[in-house]
């Protein structure tokens, strides 16, 4: 990519998109197109086509998606399927019709079957039924990557298809109704310490295993693959190691200073019991994740405490202002 090429980043205000834009800007790219939701409704085909006609990006990083943790997926399976299908199909078809030279579609390892052999290889795609708790999201992602591959095979459009494992880190959000497991645990244990809570009860049994990758490694990996792997083949993007949710909870409890009891609500689902990627292809191409899980957790705890401290200060200021108005 040349420094003045028009480069589209959808989802540019999310965790991955924000870090990607920052990375591109620091590398000297000056023509970044980062439309907000108000500027570009990705669920509206006409709006998407009109935007592409006006702006004509040469390259596109398609990051935008409706995302959430297990609770959000269970609560709204139709939304996760329908909205993500619209977002993905509208973006990819607009890229084709407007002449985008190369696109990257950010996927997810939830595309692999529930009973997938471990570690999960790219070749395991569509080899069995999906995990029911996030089937809608997974189906949309599978449809998107197949659509991108079809444009590559039929029309020669270059596409890069990284499949990251569980992403966490800088600019993550901590809304328990829709956040993912690591940020949810950081919030739960940090709040428990702040409120002197004696027990934190978590969903499931704790035996499910997950693989995590820091957002900085995701962005570095995406940019690496954008230059190295435009052949339309999916590439797992992960660390290649996993931990149980119980182990993760213990690590986060330690980092937050929580010394109470950790309980488990086994009436709640565990989701897919094991989900670790085979990163052989990624390593063969020349990329490896570098942020350790322990360091990433430490950074995320610090970020949450900064955010929650700022929120408390803001609430205190509001209280003081109201009190002052009453006195006056």
pLDDT tens per residue across span 139-181: 999 999 999 999 999 999 999 999 999 999 988 889 887 788 9
**CA angle 31-60-15, nearest 5°?**
90
pLDDT tens per residue across span 83-111: 999 999 999 999 999 999 999 999 999 99
pLDDT score at 312:
55
The DSSP annotation for 188-210 comes to HHHHHHHTT-SEEEEES-S--EE
Peptide bond into 119 cis (omega under 30): yes
pLDDT tens per residue across span 223-275: 999 999 888 999 999 999 999 999 999 999 999 999 999 999 999 999 889 99
The DSSP annotation for 125-139 comes to TTSSPPPGGGHHHHH
Q: Single out the residue of 70, 15, 309, 313 nearest to residue 190, CA to CA.
A: 309
pLDDT score at 74:
87
Q: Is 17 annotated as belonging to a binding site? A: yes
Q: Is 12 annotated as belonging to a binding site? A: yes
pLDDT of residue 209 exceeding 90: yes
pLDDT tens per residue across span 305-318: 998 875 555 444 43
Residue of 170 and 324 predicted with greater confidence: 170
Residue 27 has, within 13 A of its CA and on its CB side, a CA count of 17
Q: Is 40 annotated as belonging to a binding site? A: no
User: By mean pLDDT, which of 21-35, 169-183, 294-308 is the weakest?
Assistant: 169-183
CA distances from 71 to 118, 127, 179, 268, 270 (A): 25, 26, 9, 10, 11
CATH number of 7-172+211-241+275-312: 3.40.50.2020, 2.60.40.10, 3.40.50.720, 2.60.120.10? 3.40.50.720
CA distances from 251 to 87, 244, 247, 254, 298 (A): 36, 11, 6, 5, 10
CB 214 within 8 A of CB 169: yes
**Cα–Cα distance between 322 and 328 in angstroms, integer?**
10
pLDDT of residue 55 exceeding 90: yes
Of these residues, 29, 59, 137, 304, which one is catalytic?
137
Q: Is 109 annotated as belonging to a binding site? A: yes
**Cα–Cα distance between 6 and 102 in angstroms, integer?**
12
CB 149 within 8 A of CB 232: yes
pLDDT of residue 325 exceeding 60: no
**Cα–Cα distance between 169 and 134 in angstroms, integer?**
22
**Cα–Cα distance between 14 and 16 in angstroms, integer?**
6
Mean model confidence pLDDT for the chain: 92
pLDDT score at 284:
97
pLDDT of residue 20 exceeding 90: yes
pLDDT score at 314:
45
Q: Is 204 annotated as belonging to a binding site? A: no
Q: How far is the first Cα of the chain from the last one, in angstroms, to the nearest whole number?
A: 60
**Cα–Cα distance between 44 and 131 in angstroms, integer?**
29
pLDDT of residue 324 exceeding 80: no
CA distances from 202 to 37, 189, 252, 261, 262 (A): 34, 10, 13, 11, 7
pLDDT of residue 322 exceeding 50: no
If DSSP codes are grouped into helix, strand and coil, which group holds residue 213?
strand
- CB atoms under 10 Å from CB of 41, counted, come to 16
Is there a catalytic annotation at residue 137?
A: yes
Q: Is 107 annotated as belonging to a binding site? A: yes
CB 70 within 8 A of CB 269: yes
What dihedral angle (degrees, nearest 10) is formed by the CA atoms of 68, 42, 64, 99? 150
């Amino acid at each position: 990519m040349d420094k003045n090429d028009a480069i589209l980043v959808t989802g540019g205000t999310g965790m991955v998109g924000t870090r990607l834009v920052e990375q591109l800007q620091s590398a000297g790219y000056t023509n970044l197109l980062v439309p907000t939701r108000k500027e570009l409704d990705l669920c509206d085909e006409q709006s998407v086509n009109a935007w592409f006609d006006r702006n004509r990006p040469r390259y596109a990083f398609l990051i935008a998606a409706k995302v959430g943790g297990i609770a959000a997926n269970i609560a709204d399976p139709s939304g996760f399927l329908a909205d993500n299908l619209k977002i993905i199909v509208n973006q990819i078809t607009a890229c084709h019709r407007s002449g985008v030279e190369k696109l990257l579609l950010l996927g997810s390892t939830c595309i692999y079957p529930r009973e997938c052999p471990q570690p999960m290889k790219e070749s395991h795609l569509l080899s069995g039924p999906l995990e029911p708790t996030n089937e809608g999201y997974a189906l949309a992602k599978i449809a998107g990557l197949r659509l991108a591959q079809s444009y590559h095979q039929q029309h020669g459009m270059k596409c890069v298809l990284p499949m990251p494992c569980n992403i966490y880190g800088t600019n993550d959000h901590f809304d328990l109704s829709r956040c993912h497991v690591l940020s949810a645990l950081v919030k739960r244990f940090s709040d428990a310490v702040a409120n002197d809570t004696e027990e934190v009860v978590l969903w499931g049994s704790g035996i499910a295993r997950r693989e995590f990758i820091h957002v900085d490694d995701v962005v570095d990996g995406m940019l690496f693959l954008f230059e190295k792997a435009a052949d339309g083949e999916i590439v797992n993007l992960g660390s290649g190691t996993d931990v149980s949710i119980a182990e993760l909870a213990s690590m986060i409890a330690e980092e937050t200073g929580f010394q109470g009891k950790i309980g488990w609500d086994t009436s709640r689902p565990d989701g897919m019991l094991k989900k670790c990627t085979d990163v052989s292809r990624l390593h063969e191409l020349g990329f490896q994740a570098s942020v350790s899980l322990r360091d990433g957790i430490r950074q995320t705890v610090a970020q949450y405490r900064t955010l929650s401290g700022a929120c408390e200060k803001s609430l205190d200021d509001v209280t003081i202002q109201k009190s002052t108005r009453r006195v006056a």
